[in-house]
Chains A and B, each alone.
Chain A
Amino acid sequence: MPGLAYLGIVFAIPLIYAIGITFFDWNLLRPDLGIKFVGLKNYIDILTEVQTWNTIGRTLYFVIGAVGIELILGTAIALLLNRDFPGTDIVSSVVLAPFMMAPIVVGFVWRFLLNRTFGPLVHLFSSLGLDFLTSPPIFANGDLVIPAIITMDVWQFTPFVVLVVLAGLKSLSTQYYEAAEVDGASRWQMFWYITLPLLKPTLLVAAVIRTLTALRIFDTIMVTTQGGPGYSSEVLSFFAYRLGFESYEMGSAGTVGIIILTLALIFTLFYIKIVGVESE
Chain B
Amino acid sequence: MKNLGKLALNIMTVGAILLVLLWTLYPLMWIFLSSLKPAGAQFQDPPVWFNFEPTLDNYREFFGNSEFISAILNSLLITIVSVLFSLILGTPTAYSLARFKYRHDDKMLIFVLLSRMTPPIVLVMPLFLLARALGIIDTYLVLIIMGGLLSVPFVIWMMRGFFADLPIELEEAAMIDGCDRKNVLVRVLLPLVAPGLAATAVLCSLLVWNQFLFVLVLGGSSTRTLPVLVKMFVTEQSVNWGVMSAAGIITVLPLIIFGLLAQKYLVKGLTMGGVKE
Contact = CB atoms under 8 A, between A and B. Distances in A.
A174 to B, nearest CB: 14
Contacts of A21: 125-126
A254 to B, nearest CB: 7
A253 interface: yes
A164 B275 CA distance: 7
Given A17-B129, A21-B126, A95-B20, A219 B212 contact: yes
B248 interface: yes
Interface stretch (B42-50, B58-66, B169-177, B186-194): B42-50
Contact of A258 (B24, B122, B230): B122
B267 A101 contact: no
A101 B248 contact: yes
Interface string B234-263: 000001010011011001100110011001
B118 A264 contact: yes
Contact of B125 (A96, A102, A223, A254): A254
A: contact size bracket: 35 or more
Interface in A162-176: 163-164, 166-168, 170-171
A251 to B, nearest CB: 10
A104 B230 contact: yes
B25 interface: yes
Nearest to B87: A3
Interface residue SS majority, chain B: helix
B201 interface: no
A29 interface: no
Contacts of B94: 3
Nearest to B211: A102
Contacts, number: 242
Interface stretch (A44-52, A64-72, A115-123, A137-145): A115-123
Contacts of A14: 123, 126-127, 130
A57 B21 CA distance: 33
15 contacts: A3-B89, A3-B92, A14-B126, A18-B123, A80-B17, A91-B17, A97-B28, A98-B28, A103-B212, A109-B31, A163-B267, A168-B276, A258-B122, A260-B119, A264-B118
Interface of B: 10, 13, 16-17, 20-21, 23-25, 27-28, 30-31, 34, 42-47, 49, 88-94, 96-97, 108, 111-127, 129-130, 145, 148-149, 152-153, 155-156, 206, 209-210, 212-213, 217, 226-227, 230-231, 239, 241, 244-245, 247-248, 251-252, 255-256, 259-260, 263, 266-271, 273-277
Interface of A: 1-4, 6-7, 10-15, 17-18, 21, 77, 80-81, 83, 85, 87-88, 91-105, 108-113, 117-120, 123, 155, 159, 163-164, 166-168, 170-171, 201-202, 205-206, 212, 215-216, 218-219, 223, 237, 240-241, 244-245, 250, 253-254, 257-258, 260-261, 264-265, 268
